Chains A and B, each alone.
Chain A
Amino acid sequence: MTYIAKPRVFHPSLEKNELGLTRRDYEGVMSTLCAGCGHDSVTAALIEAAWELAIPTHRAAKMSGIGCSSKTTAYFMSESHGFNSVHGRMPSVASGANAANRDLVYVGVSGDGDSLSIGLGQLCHAVRRNLNLLYIIENNGVYGLTKGQFSASADMGSKSKRGVPNEQPPIDPARLGLSIGATFVARGFSGDKQQLVPIIKAGIRHPGLALVDVISPCVTFNDHVGSTKSYAYTREHFREAVEAAFVAPKDFVPPAEEIAADIGSAEVRDVRMHDGSVIRFRQVEGDYDATDRDAVYGYLSERQNAGEVPTGLLYVDPESRDLHDVLGTVDRPLWDLPFEELCPGADALDALMENYR
């Protein structure tokens, strides 16, 4: 916990995005998390991504539940909407908000406790609904707020701070997501923003639920030798499956040209999304195909069984249709519809009921 306010003085070379805002304009209040918490780096990555995408801060909504992770939403984009909900219930509240106002950018930040234990059912159904939401799970394998008990994502054999190994199998959010139809699955590491920022950007722009599992070490309760979620362990077992970059429609350059400018780079493959944006994959693993759900599932199982931490923008469905698309709701946000249209009254209901007689 830090008591000094971050001074509002800036480096003179601080860049502005197309809205005329600097990164500092995307900051929130000073973090009260432990010094060195991975979550603060996720915050920094969110700030960077939102700045790069030039998201108008008043057009975004930050949703969270309970836990250290869920405090994150206070630490970025002070001017955005926000809802800090009941434990594990962020997806429901986000669903409601998204249903009412489809025009906002939704960023949900949760943790392995909030999403994989008490809120597991909520998570699964939000994934199935394909809510247009960036869903970040800050995953550190422990309940930090209650002093370091194993969470549902703790690996078998990972040791607690007191040296006791975990003997229950973990829930892997990435494979869980793949198995229930997630249209965007990624894994990052708080200690590698170079990889994380493009993933977050692509996730924010993804038309549907973008499930991002971020290994985000708990510096107080789970950063010791024997832990499988420490900075050192993650770095040692980190394996990048594929490198992804988000390319906004206006910035699009055919890959052939980019390769020509960067001789010797690996093979590049573009996956074009509905809105014209592109996710550009640079192969790291020879034949990795981020659009082949079953192959990705198999790859993750294989690498994780070998003790590795596969990372990257692991899977994306270019045909993703979000909740509103599936339901066929009107383009105009529901909150903005005149009351008479949104709720046409008893006569209209009666007329509708007549059809079913």
Chain B
Amino acid sequence: MEPTNVGNPDYYHKVVDCQWACPAHTNVPGYIRLIAQERYDDAYMLNWESNVFPGILGRTCDRPCEPACRRGRVEDKPVAICRLKRVAADLRGDITPRFPEIPKQKNGRKIACVGAGPASLTVARDLMPLGYEVTIFEKNDRPGGLMWTNIPQFRLPPEVLWEEIDYILDMGVDIRYDAPVKSMKWLLEQGFDAIFVGSGAPRGKELRLPGRYETDHIYIGIDWLESVAFGHTNSIEENVLVIGVGNTAMDCCRTSKRIGGTNVKVMARKSKPYFKASPWELEDAEEELVDIVENHSPTEFVVEDGVLRGMKFDIVEWHENDQGRLVSTKLDEAFFPADAVILAIGQESAFPWIEDDAGIEFNKWREAVVDRTTFMSTREGVFFGGDAAWGPENIIWAAEHGHQAAISIHAYCSGEDIRKRPPEHMNLVSAKMGLHEWSYSNDYEYAGRRKMRHVRLEERLGSIETEVEEGFDLEQTLTEVERCLNCDLQTHFTGSLCIECDACIDICPLNCLTITHNGEEAELRTRLLAPAENTEQDIYVSEPLPQTARVMVKDEDLCIHCGLCAERCPTAAWDMRTFDLLKPYAGREEDHPYSGMGIEEMAPGGFVSAAP
């Protein structure tokens, strides 16, 4: 193999599994260490910089970081990253003085955003400090998009939502409520320099089966949740079937339980391994005594004299066919009585307000054709992001789309090539503080993942407003932060210093290191002290070593970043270095007022540093 180029920020970034997996590349280990130091404001700001909604995401994030967490490979359970994010939000003080200054003198550019969901709000947050005038058109009488209409209050208290949205609106965003955009052509004529479409995926999918339109007791999940959020709906029948087993279905069944549904069943076509809902949301629903019925494929709504009686299902089993696709075999039929059915089988974007001749191309599914890099549609100056771009994702993706679209809008308005993306940079600073002192806590914490405490069942089911999760207490927090393996503390190797004494190899508790002769990657992986079988994880290969011309190989897979290799290295060939990804944001490539500081360094003027 060629020697690994650790000068490319991607290499070390990838080692920080959580940050790499996070669409917004939030510096997870960085903010976890700040929490450990009880620097909640700093931890919050480090989050806010990249994911914009720490308090909201600390409760609702889809957590792509957690399945990626290295701790989940070293032992059973990943670090409770999302819970810790909430700790930072819960315990922060007044951080508003740290927000970027909004120039009084505007730059003369006007931007329109359609929909006040997380994508548009992120665009606004990134562009307002640059002097843009941002106008958001929102069809409802309040902002938030699906964060407000579709996430029940027992998971996300409204005050948390409004507070973080207000941080952005208070920058001077011109937000217009009850102002649905009815025509793209009209919008194009309003003199905006660029338009961002962040109108989400507001249309719930239909289930066209016999009986569908013979009763009014069949609801579309996202519409029904919205109606509950606005207080238009405050009860449901006793026997409820929820069709579908994604996260919307979980919100529907749990909401039903709180407003009258006593016998609530979630009906899934497939079996548990194929469920779309996040495992923790499934757990929470089951804890609230929702039945989850697998392998039941709906066939008919049974309606007698206009009254919904229930639904018929085929009981099926699934197997993979020759092409590797899942196919079902019918085993039997079943009838489930119900007085109400909620359909939660997916949602899609809908653009009835974009005219065919508005210059925006659509594909055969009526999705806008959007460039994956620039987020621009086929019409110059019109950008898409969030669920409006490529269908339903989640809040953290919407935030990242917002960042990228803002970069494009800024480049577009500055007359620059929007395809030329600002590069990522990194800081790499030695963590060595003394002979045996490191700037991080590297004692291994053996404790298992801390469990979130929930409000008692009777209490929570009595009210739709009672937040179920109580948040971590201090003991839980202090234990959980220590479970983080500090994967951003990189093991940095300088081959020219190595005397091949084997000290690092002998001490490494996870057998990550080997000195051997170089070879092709596939073959080299088999020759390591412990075979490197996880090919999703890189192996590091050094330059040829001075004494024998062999190479140092490190399998990144299970390194717990304990620092023992560096500690036992007599020549400091191994060093622990804090990696800080410098992610570009709109207009902030050069001077980087948000980031650009090592977390430990806290350059003045940045978000993380104390307010002046």
Q: Please report A residues at the B interface, Cβ cutoff 8 Å.
A: 1-14, 24, 34-38, 40-41, 43-44, 190-191, 193, 217, 219-220, 223, 231-232, 235
Chain B 190-226 interface residues, beta-carbon cutoff 8 Å to A: none
Q: For the complex, what is the distance from the CA of A37 to the CA of B503, rounded to whole Å?
A: 7
**Interface residues of chain B: helix, strand, loop or mixed (majority):** loop
User: Is A9 a contact partner of B444 (Cβ separation < 8 A)?
Assistant: yes
User: Is A36 a contact partner of B507 (Cβ separation < 8 A)?
Assistant: no
- Residues from chain B with a CB closer than 8 A to the CB of A35 are 503, 567-570
User: Is A4 a contact partner of B501 (Cβ separation < 8 A)?
Assistant: no
- Residues from chain B with a CB closer than 8 A to the CB of A220 are 570
Q: For the complex, what is the distance from the CA of A41 to the CA of B443, rounded to whole Å?
A: 23
Residue interface mask B99-133, A partner, CB < 8 A = 1: 00000000000000000000000000000000000
Q: For the complex, what is the distance from the CA of A232 to the CA of B446, rounded to whole Å?
A: 40
Q: Please report B residues at the A interface, Cβ cutoff 8 Å.
A: 74-75, 436, 442-444, 446, 499-503, 505-507, 509-511, 530-531, 533, 547-548, 558, 560, 562-564, 567-571
**Given A38-B501, A232-B499, A9 and B567 contact (CB-CB distance below 8 Å):** no
- Residues from chain B with a CB closer than 8 A to the CB of A40 are 503, 506-507, 568
Give the number of A-B contacts (CB < 8 Å). Answer: 96
Q: A35-B569, A36-B501, A36-B570 are in contact. List 16 more A-B contacts (CB 8 A).
A: A4-B567, A5-B443, A6-B564, A7-B560, A9-B560, A10-B510, A11-B530, A14-B511, A34-B570, A35-B570, A37-B570, A40-B503, A193-B502, A219-B570, A232-B547, A235-B548
Output the least CB separation between A212 and chain B (Å).
Answer: 17
User: Is B509 a contact partner of A41 (Cβ separation < 8 A)?
Assistant: no
Interchain Cβ contacts under 8 Å between A and B, 14 examples: A3-B436, A4-B563, A4-B564, A5-B443, A7-B444, A8-B509, A36-B571, A37-B503, A44-B505, A191-B501, A217-B501, A223-B499, A231-B499, A235-B547
Chain B residue with minimal CB distance to A236?
B547
User: Is B510 a contact partner of A11 (Cβ separation < 8 A)?
Assistant: yes
- Residues from chain A with a CB closer than 8 A to the CB of B502 are 41, 44, 190-191, 193
Q: For the complex, what is the distance from the CA of A41 to the CA of B509, rounded to whole Å?
A: 15
User: Is B506 a contact partner of A4 (Cβ separation < 8 A)?
Assistant: no
**Given A193-B502, A231-B499, A11 and B564 contact (CB-CB distance below 8 Å):** no
Q: For the complex, what is the distance from the CA of A3 to the CA of B503, rounded to whole Å?
A: 15
User: Is A11 a contact partner of B547 (Cβ separation < 8 A)?
Assistant: no
- Residues from chain A with a CB closer than 8 A to the CB of B531 are 13
Q: Which of A9, A12, A40 has the most CB of B within 10 A?
A: A9
Q: For the complex, what is the distance from the CA of A215 to the CA of B563, rounded to whole Å?
A: 28
Which residue of A4, A13, A24, A193 contacts B533 across the interface (Cβ within 8 Å)?
A13
Output the least CB separation between A240 and chain B (Å).
Answer: 14
Which residue of A8, A41, A223 contacts B503 across the interface (Cβ within 8 Å)?
A41
Q: For the complex, what is the distance from the CA of A244 to the CA of B473, rounded to whole Å?
A: 60
- Residues from chain B with a CB closer than 8 A to the CB of A217 are 501
- Residues from chain A with a CB closer than 8 A to the CB of B564 are 2, 4, 6
- Residues from chain A with a CB closer than 8 A to the CB of B500 are 191, 231, 235
Q: For the complex, what is the distance from the CA of A275 to the CA of B500, rounded to whole Å?
A: 37
**Given A11-B530, A235-B547, A36 and B499 contact (CB-CB distance below 8 Å):** yes
Q: For the complex, what is the distance from the CA of A232 to the CA of B546, rounded to whole Å?
A: 9
Q: For the complex, what is the distance from the CA of A84 to the CA of B481, rounded to whole Å?
A: 42
- Residues from chain A with a CB closer than 8 A to the CB of B442 are 4
Q: Which of B436, B563, B568 has the most CB of A within 10 A?
A: B568
Q: For the complex, what is the distance from the CA of A325 to the CA of B505, rounded to whole Å?
A: 41
